[in-house]
Amino acid sequence: MIPIAYPLVLAVILFCMGIVGFLLRKNAIVIFMCLELMFNAANLVFITFANHYQVIDGQVFVVFVMTVAAAEVAVGLALMVTIFRTKQSIDIDQMNSLKG
C-alpha cells in the first residue's frame, strides 16, 4: 500500500506546476494545458482520498470533472481558433488592449 502522503505530495507538485506554468508561459494552448494540470491534480487528490476512505464520492467527482474539462476544452479551443483568425497569434501577452 502506498502511503497516502505520496500521491498527495505529487498532487500538490502537479498543482504548483500548473500555477507556475500559467504564470510563465505565453502561449494560450500551453497555458490551457497547465490549467488541465491543475484540474488533474485535484482529481488525483479526490481519487486518493476516495481510495483512502473507501467512499465513492471522490470517483464520482472525478468523472464529472473530466466531463466538464472536456467541455471547457471545446469552448477554449474554439475561442483560440477565432482569436488566431483575427490576430494571427495566440500569444496572451498581446491581449492587453483592455486595461486601467
Amino acid at 91: D
> What is the separation of C-alpha 30 from the centre of its chain, rounded to a whole number of angstroms?
11
CB of 21 to another protein, least distance (A): 11
- Give residues in contact with another protein (CB under 8 A): 8, 11, 15, 18-19, 22-24, 28, 31-32, 35, 38-39, 41-43, 45-46, 48-50, 52-53, 55, 57-58, 60-61, 64-65, 68, 71-72, 75-76, 78-80, 82-83, 85-87, 92-93, 95-100
Measured from the CB atom, the residue of 9 and 95 that comes closer to another protein is 95
- Name the residue with cell 500521491: 7
Measured from the CB atom, the residue of 1 and 29 that comes closer to another protein is 29
Q: Where are the alpha helices (DSSP H) in the chain?
A: 5-24, 28-53, 57-87
CB of 34 to another protein, least distance (A): 9
Q: Which three cell numbers stand for residue 30?
A: 500551453
Work out the angle between the directed axes of helices 5-24 and 28-53 (0-180°, nearest 10).
Answer: 170
